[in-house]
Structure 1
Amino acid sequence: MKHILLFTFIVIITSCNQWSDKDTLEFMEQCEKTKWEKEFCNCAIEKVKLQYNSFSEIAKNENHISEILIECIDENKTH
């Protein structure tokens, strides 16, 4: 019984700290509304997913998101 409870707890905790399909879709929709190119949005979401656990967490870190977007703009210019 202890193993089942531990396993359930671990699954719940780890699933709470992952990007859902809904989070990804919401981010991409917001990015594409800005009329940025798809490659730029793909760059941004990959960088954001590495640093934030969910779409809602981004709102708490708007200043850092600006830095990520600038990185993607710079990378897009060099390609």
Structure 2
Amino acid sequence: MTTTTTSSSPAIAATGMRKAYGDKTVLDGIDLTVAPGTVFSLLGPNGAGKTTAVKILSTLVTADAGDLWVGGHDLA
């Protein structure tokens, strides 16, 4: 017997993610949704905020603003 489970909630959901260091804004209103079971790649040039976004989503750094959910957990 095979059971298929679908989840309506995303694995990662970010709406309006913002981060600044002093007067330098590194993330300015990022919206991101990643469905469960998908492989997601975050690409961009140096200084685009990729590492900052990953650090925020892994709770190593706090965001200045935004609704952030990972695995059903509110990062606020």
Could you say whether these structures have the same fold, taking a TM-score greater than 0.5 normalized by the shorter chain as the test?
no
Larger relative contact order (CA 8 Å, sep ≥ 6)? 2
> Is the strand fraction higher in 1 or 2?
2
The alignment's TM-score, normalised by the length of structure 1, stands at 0.31
The alignment's TM-score, normalised by the length of structure 2, stands at 0.32
Q: Rg bigger for which structure?
A: 1
